[in-house]
Structure 1
Amino acid sequence: MQLKRVVVTGLGALTPIGNTVAEYWEGLKNGKSGCAPITYFDTEKFKTKFACELKGFDPLQFFDRKEVRKLDRFAQYALVSSDEAIADSGLDLDTLDKFRVGVIWGAGIGGLETFQTEVLNFAEGDGTPRFNPFFIPKMIADIAPGNISIKHGFMGPNYTTVSACASSANALIDALNYIRLGYCDVIVAGGSEAAVTIAGMGGFNAMHALSTRNESPETASRPFDATRDGFVLGEGAGALILEEYEHAKARGAKIYAEVAGGGLSSDAYHMTAPHPDGIGVVRVMENCLKDAGMAPGEVDAINTHGTSTPLGDVAELKAISRVFGAHAPEININSTKSMTGHLLGAAGAIEAIASILAMEHSLVPPTINHTTVDDQIDPSLNLTLNKAQPREVNVAMSNTFGFGGHNACIVFKKIG
Structure 2
Amino acid sequence: MKFRDLQSNIKIRLYTDFITDLSQMAIFPFMAIYFSSQVGQGIAGLLLTLNVICSILAGLYAGYLSDRLGRKKVMIFALIIQIGALTIMALANSPWFLSVWVTYFMFLISNVSSSVINPAASAMIIDSSTEKERPYIYSLQYWSGNIAISIGAVLGGLFFESGRFILFCMFALVSIVTLLIIIFLIDESMKEIHAHEENNKPSFSKSIFTNYLNVIKDSKFMFFVMGTVFVLSLEFQLDKYIAVRLKEEFHASLFGFEITGIKMFSLIILINTVFVVVATLHLSKWLSKFSHKLILTIGLVIYSLSFSALAVSNSFFILVGAAVLFTLGELMYSPIKQTILAGMIPDHARASYMAVDSLSFNAAMLLGSLGLTIGAVLPSSGMAVLYLILGFVGLFCFRSGMKHKKTTEYQPVANESHL
Fold conserved (TM > 0.5)? no
Which of the pair has more CA radius of gyration? Answer: 2
TM-score by length of 1: 0.24
**Comparing both structures, which one devotes a greater share of its residues to helix?**
2
TM-score by length of 2: 0.24
Q: Which has the higher contact order (CA 8 A, sep 6+)?
A: 2
**Comparing both structures, which one devotes a greater share of its residues to strand?**
1
